[in-house]
Structure 1
Amino acid sequence: MSDQENADWQPLSRRHVSTREQALFEGVPDHLIHPLNTWIDEYLADRPKLTGRIALQMRVALDYPDPELLVEGVSASDPALLLDVVDVVLHLDKGLWWELDVAGPEPTMEAGAAEWVPDFSWPKGSKAAAVERLDEMLMDAGSAFEVDWHQRCLQRRVDATVAIAADQAMSLDAGQHLRAAWAATYGRHPDPSKAYDEAIRAVEAASIPVVLPRGTRETLGKVHAHLRDASDKWELAIEGANDGSVAPLTEMIGLLWKGHVARHAGSPAFRPQRQDEAQMAIHLAATLVHWFRTGAVRPRKSG
């Protein structure tokens, strides 16, 4: 059974319950409090420096850096803040960063024995293995959050297929902006306006070198205007009934650019971007980045 099949599996009593009734849990529901407390205690055991830094980040006063006291201090005000503790743990632990970015997982002895047997796994007792258990715990508990292995933090859970597509786009040159947009959209503390800004920057980073490579102060608005006015000079990989017309691309870029109402403070249309706008913007941006970086948008051949 693949990881996605396991994630989609439901106990018998819930298999035919509507999607609305299967809504993910925000915050920390009662059934997750003790497992999360235990995970934090075990992860921070014998790590006073990291515990002390987390306490400072969480604004919890401790006489000495003890994980149990940290958990008690956080839970006393709001158990949902335990997710913030985990978020800070993932963000501050340089040992975890080393394992994820440098050391990496190890080949498994049983690789290839069955489809569900992984080819690689984190060493027993490693920090990454502990984070993997955390991710499984959050999934099993129906949490609305999961581990973001790239940003080393928690993010809002999204459809696996959508996440894979976005992950592929993030590996391209514009990935830095897409990752920032993703974190600002699906992180523990969303910032829709920042997310929309970064989505715009990601598409600019991917499209300007293709469409306006000689410009010095180009914007997505100028890319949009050029593709609209010189549409006969460009084509899409999918020809369709319109011979590869870039009209659909122009519409998509226009939707993203004109929907960026937070870019001009003081204008009559100015307002902060909404969360639903940010979510749509980042997925639209991921598609556009992929198109521009893979040659799906290209100059039309003459003749």
Structure 2
Amino acid sequence: MLYDALNLYGDGVTIPWTPLPYRDGGTTPLREDVPAALETPLREWLHDAVLRHGGDVWQRVAIRCDLALNTEDDSDYSDVDYPERLAYWTPVERLLEAIDALLDLLPVPASTVIPARLAPPAADVPRAGALLTMAAGMSAVLAQQNTVSRKPLQRLLDDARSRYTVRPDGGALVARVDPAIARTLQTAAESADQPERGSASEHLREAITQAYALTPDPVKAYSEAIKAVESAAHATVQPNHGRATLGTMLGEMPKIAPKLVFEIEGSDPQDGIEMVRRMMLQLWDGQTSRHGKQRPTRKETPAEAKAAVHLAAVLVQYFSSGAIRRA
């Protein structure tokens, strides 16, 4: 799922504060690493978040990230608890990775601190039921008090001009996306959210998530991009083929080309149809990890995956909006 990883209009796509030297134009750099000025505040946020959550969350983060929090003579550090070790012993180059793992384990903040169920019960509600309702409400309040706010973390990342930002649902770090690009991807995902386009929207959102994650999965992203196009194009190209794939659709399109129209005709009405077919072919042929063979299978690179996601978004938009359709 995208989890609205781009939101796509929320904090996940915002470009942070611009330093004065770059306000008159030019490329404003984003930081891939953790700069010296950001390191200590990040460690402090991590330490506070682990303590606030409590339990063995520090251990789960350490295991997920394969972080050793013991030394050969641990007795020398008996006064250093494990949350502090996680926060201050994690190598700086892996600090964002640890924070990303922690975000996935932390509960999502509730939108309302005091739940409505704490209101006085109606007169016709049995006393026992009212007490149970109020007890449940108090538990929710106590749980909310221990909820870790992501806002301070977001401010730190923004002020440091980090390439990474908190995903809008608070469950991970994701790479920032230019707002204009994000809106294009969002529009494509929303246009596919219709029954005749199957799960195209879900596949496209998952492709974006995997392509722009802190630790991207380019193979998954590319695969989901293809699935998004297959879902979006199915009703238009091969509606009666229950097992249609992008490959079978590519074989079908030359046969049904006279029955298809593209919104922009050009000098030849078939030019637009051929352009769409070539885009689909580029996406299909570009997937290097689809099948095994005698030679080692090459996995898609992060750059290839992002290109595939953006190509898929255009195709999904074409089919879902009716820009290409049956005559």
User: Shared fold (TM-score greater than 0.5)?
Assistant: yes
Structure 1 position 140 matched with structure 2 position 140: no
Indicate the larger mover: 149-158 or 272-281: 149-158
Matched with 2:302 is: 275
Once the two structures are TM-superposed, the CA of residue 218 in structure 1 deviates from its matched residue by 1.2
3-state DSSP of counterpart to 1:189: coil
2:176 aligned with 1:157, yes or no? yes
Which of the residues 174, 178, 182 maps onto 2:208?
A: 182
TM-superposed deviation, 1:211: 1.8
Structure 1 residue 33 and structure 2 residue 20: aligned? no
Change (3 A) 1:68 1:146: same
The equivalent residue for 1:79 is 92
The Cα of 1:205 is off from its aligned counterpart by 1.8
Q: Evaluate the alpha carbon distance shift between residue 176 and residue 85 of structure 1 in structure 2; reply closer, same or farther with a 3 A threshold.
A: same
Post-superposition offset of 1:14: 2.9
Aligned counterpart for 1:218 among listed residues 230, 244, 252: 244
2:96 counterpart letter in structure 1? L
- Structure 2 residue runs without a partner (length 5+): 1-9, 71-77, 115-143, 194-198
Pairing of 1:115-264 with structure 2 (within 5 A): 127=147, 130-149=149-168, 152-171=171-190, 172=193, 173-243=199-269, 245-264=272-291
Q: Is the 8 A contact 1:261 1:269 kept in 2?
A: no
Q: Which has the larger radius of gyration?
A: 2
- Give the aligned residue type for 1:175: S
Measured on the aligned residues, the alpha-carbon RMSD in Å equals 3.2
What letter matches 2:153 in structure 1?
L
Structure 1 residues 280 and 227, CA gap change in structure 2 (3 angstroms): same
Task: Tell me which moved more, 197-206 or 259-268.
Answer: 259-268
CA distance in 2, matches of 1:143, 1:182: 19
TM-score (norm 1): 0.77
Q: What displacement does 1:285 show?
A: 0.9
Match of 1:116 in 2: none
What CA distance in whole angstroms lies between the structure 2 residues aligned with 1:17 and 1:169? Answer: 30
Unpaired segments of 5 or more residues in structure 1?
107-123
SS at match of 2:244: coil
AA aligned to 2:172 is C
Segment of structure 1 superposing worse, 160-169 or 2-11:
2-11
Match of 1:42 among 48, 52, 76: 48
1:14 aligns with 2:22: yes
Partner of 2:64: 57
SS at match of 2:174: strand
TM-score by length of 2: 0.72
Residue identity (%): 31
CA distance in 2, matches of 1:233, 1:286: 24
Contact 2:15 2:176 in 1 (8 A): no
Cα–Cα, structure 1 residues 261 and 46, in superposed 2: closer, same or farther, change >3 Å? closer
Give the C-alpha shift of residue 249 in structure 1.
1.0
Task: Specify the SS of the correspondent of 2:15.
Answer: helix
SS at match of 1:188: coil
Query: Could you list the per-position Cα deviations for residues 252-278 of structure 1 after superposition, in whole angstroms to 9, with x for gaps in the alignment?
Result: 111111111221211669522222211
